A and B are shown apart, each in its own frame.
Chain A
């Protein structure tokens, strides 16, 4: 499960993304390397989700270049993304996972065992036959995590994985993220929950109005933020 050379580091060089007249990301340069999770934090509308989609390879930059292990335009074979509001397929819990495993090219014979392993990893053993859309919000988030892990990713992007979950469900998801990190998978998580960033991240990237305001190791970011934006965000004063 170690990240192969072909995926990391992810380099964004002078990258911008525009949508019509709006600049969503503005000349960002950033390197995402292997190691502890990277947290993308910032107020709503700061560009976190767009940055994740860009790093995943789902959208093209309007300017600049994105590369994975030094190579541009590589298919997202070992990159996975969990959306903020993951959509469950109209299938059972195990059916959702088997679908993701098939899409990842896992052989039919191996799918059953792998499916059980992933369900156990996210704490959903015993719920395999339940329709995925009838799971609770927290269970659906964990199933989405398992589905993202089905392709054996080297990098896992998580977009606000615990937004709108209660504390118990949040802890359950964070435990899975911890287990995923322990497997050597690079986690990049977008969140506006500072507590979550403190608990999970090794590195913090603060985005503000489409630009990188500060990048720092998590401990330093929270104990001694360098920029005015970072100080205001940690103090809860940077709202837009």
Chain B
């Protein structure tokens, strides 16, 4: 198909418009993944190690939030950041910052829920040993996060993958502005509707490649963990 050939040409020729979109997409999704990890991993660890009334309810809610619809998150962040919203004075609606906030909200529950499960499994293994070594609460959390680091990297990559692939939230809070808030997914949706298939297919190829690399990294990380940490 001629569209496929043109798409490949766009990718291989380093088309500036295409790679600007890729750069912005990576910036937004990576930033969101890092922020969500900073929130989600400690939160997951806290739930894994503590017992309190209503804990089961928190876990069920957290697990349910993994399926949060991106458009709902986009709508909520839109209402928060719109001029008449509570955070309207920030003036960041239709900017990459708004897109990062939306994606962070979207993937933080995923990272928190998966981290909680990983860390709780490890905690059940380590609990007696750490108690016998008289390790304090903060030391326990730090130990679990460090020793589960290879599994947690996989969790972070899962969060990043979800952020990079979603379109609903970023299109609502970013507005899909050319050269400013246009990401791979929003561009694919737009270019397809316009009938510009080469650019849409080119972006699709890059997106698929990124997803493949992310999965290869996750696989490699687990392998490294097995080799060096046992």
Contacts and interface: CB of A to CB of B under 8 A. Distances in A.
A148 B229 CA distance: 20
B230 A88 contact: yes
Nearest to A99: B143
A56 B126 contact: no
Given A131-B229, A132-B230, A89 B132 contact: no
Given A83-B129, A103-B139, 11 more contacts: A56-B132, A58-B128, A76-B134, A83-B132, A89-B143, A90-B225, A90-B230, A91-B229, A131-B227, A134-B230, A151-B134
A67 B229 CA distance: 39
B131 interface: yes
A215 interface: no
A128 to B, nearest CB: 13
7 contacts: A87-B126, A87-B128, A91-B229, A99-B143, A103-B135, A131-B229, A133-B230
A88 B126 CA distance: 8
Interface in A163-198: none
A100 B228 CA distance: 19
Interface residues of B, number: 18
A159 B230 CA distance: 24
Interface residues of A, number: 26
B129 A87 contact: yes
B56 interface: no
A7 to B, nearest CB: 14
B132 A81 contact: yes
Contacts of B128: 58, 83, 87
A90 B119 CA distance: 13
A75 B133 CA distance: 11
A1 interface: no
Contacts of A131: 227-230
